[in-house]
Amino acid sequence: MNGIVLQETVRARALELPAAALEMPFGPGAEVAKVLGKMFLLLTEVKGEPIVVLKAEPRDAEALRSTHPEITPGYHMNKRHWITLNPGGLGVEFVRELVTDSYLLVVETLPRARRPVDPQTFLAAEGGTGTSSTDGPAT
């Protein structure tokens, strides 16, 4: 998947998620998706190449980086808690699941009364399973 398709896929998935919104708090060239004011992804470019930065559990981030050459430490973010998706062989459904996982990690940090979804039941309600460190590229 090239960088443009990667970002389009991520943007579309982010906008499907309850209470998610896109903003440009850092100015042009850096689009951020937030859930109730808390960031869960960044769309930007590095050396002219579109990339995506997502939140991830530290153990999952490490496993994903070791399994997928397109996944690297979070660009300009905490390297333990964020990953960068680079253009390459990641499949559309796998990328969509990574976006959902990032979103749910942030939702879990919100006060229960403000959560737009229950992180424990959201995937089941959507009919999805989320990702794990062993999931591979999906198409």
Which residues on adjacent β-strands are paired with residue 41?
33, 54
CA triplet 65, 71, 77: central angle to 5 degrees? 90
Which pTM was predicted? 0.88
What Rg do the C-alpha atoms of the chain give, in angstroms? 14
Q: For 118-133, how does the pLDDT look when each residue is reduced to its tens digit (9 = 90+)?
A: 998 898 877 765 554 4
Domains and CATH numbers, the chain: 3-126 (3.90.1150.30)
What are the start-end ranges of the E strands in 31-79? 31-35, 38-46, 49-55, 71-73
Q: For 34-68, how does the pLDDT look when each residue is reduced to its tens digit (9 = 90+)?
A: 999 999 999 999 999 999 999 999 999 999 999 99
Residue 130: predicted pLDDT = 56
Region for 35 from its dihedrals, namely left if φ exceeds 0, alpha if ψ lies in -120 to 50, beta otherwise: beta
Q: For 85-123, how does the pLDDT look when each residue is reduced to its tens digit (9 = 90+)?
A: 999 999 999 999 999 999 999 999 999 999 999 998 898
CB contact at 8 A, 70 and 86: yes
CA triplet 44, 108, 114: central angle to 5 degrees? 100
At 94, phi and psi to the nearest 5?
Answer: -65, -45
